[in-house]
Copies of this chain bind each other. A is one copy, B any other.
Amino acid sequence: MPPRPPTKPRKRASQERSRVTVDALVEATARILVGEGFDKASTNRIAAVAGVSIGSLYQYFPGKEALVVAVAQRHRHELLSVVRARLARVADEPLAQGIGALVAAAVAAHRVDPALHRVLAEEIPRVGGLADAAGFNRDNLALFRDYLQSRRDEMRVADLELATFVCMTTIEALTHNAVLHHADVLADERMEALVAETTRLIVGYLTG
């Protein structure tokens, strides 16, 4: 097993000045990822776009991977706050409403920065430290399991763990595919239809 490239930031940006540098680097990485793709994102290029010397890049990040991971993390946090916010509003409503909201939230999340989301999901070799760079699912999964748990009496599933896996995978795949690959085909009203269908699919499955 070859040693993986490190992905954790090298030093904390303590002073204000360095904070700016770090942000510029992460932002530049995101911009290049979206605009030119993963393998144009060389460290030299990132530094140049960030308006920062290559030396400074390496003061704060141990390498390219760490930058991509930082971008993915930032993206993940944004998604998560979108999902959390929406979910909070329906915590006490019946299952059908909850699932509906969740699916809608997933679509909304995929629309936060679809281009970045696509690069993160499809262009980045999921290997080494990048393996779950886009794995915002773990957080989502926990969130969702808690929700399902709280609604357990409305459901008819034997294995909650399995059900969570099935639901999350399904919702993620459908919204991802729809938003990222069929946005053109699926006009707005049809997207609403998809949300409805997905909700029906999941609710039907859970209340079986």
List A residues at the B interface (Cβ < 8 Å).
Answer: 37-39, 122-127, 159, 162-163, 165-166, 169-170, 172-174, 177-178, 182, 190, 193-194, 197-198, 200-201, 204-205, 208
Task: Give min CB distance, A86 to chain B, whole Å.
Answer: 22
Report the minimum CB–CB distance from A189 to chain B (whole Å): 12
Least CB distance, A182 to chain B, in whole angstroms: 7
DSSP class of A's interface residues: helix, strand, loop or mixed? helix
Q: List chain B residues, Cβ under 8 A from A122.
A: 125-127
List B contacts of A126 (CB < 8 A). Answer: 122-123
Query: Could you tell me the distance between the alpha carbons of A170 and B173 in the complex, rounded to whole angstroms?
Result: 7
B123 touches A197 (CB 8 A): no
Say whether A159 contacts B193, CB under 8 Å.
yes
CB pairs A–B below 8 angstroms (9 shown): A38-B125, A125-B125, A165-B177, A166-B194, A169-B177, A170-B201, A173-B174, A201-B205, A204-B204
- Contact (Cβ within 8 A) A208 B198: no
Contact A197 B166 (CB under 8 A): yes
Contacts of A177 in B (CB 8 A): 165, 169
- Looking at the assembled complex, report how far the CB atom of A66 sits from the nearest CB atom of chain B, in whole angstroms: 17
Is B124 touching A125 in the complex (CB atoms < 8 A)?
A: yes
Give the Cβ gap from A126 to chain B, nearest Cβ, in Å: 4
Please give me the residue from chain B that is nearest to A198 by CB atom: B166
Shortest C-beta distance, A39 to chain B (Å), equals 7
Cβ of A122 to closest chain B Cβ, rounded Å: 4
Which chain B positions have C-beta within 8 A of A194?
Answer: 162, 166
Cα A123 to Cα B37 in complex, Å, equals 15
Q: How far is the CA of A122 from the CA of B133 in the complex (A)?
A: 12
CA distance A123 to B125 in the complex (A): 4
Q: How far is the CA of A122 from the CA of B166 in the complex (A)?
A: 20
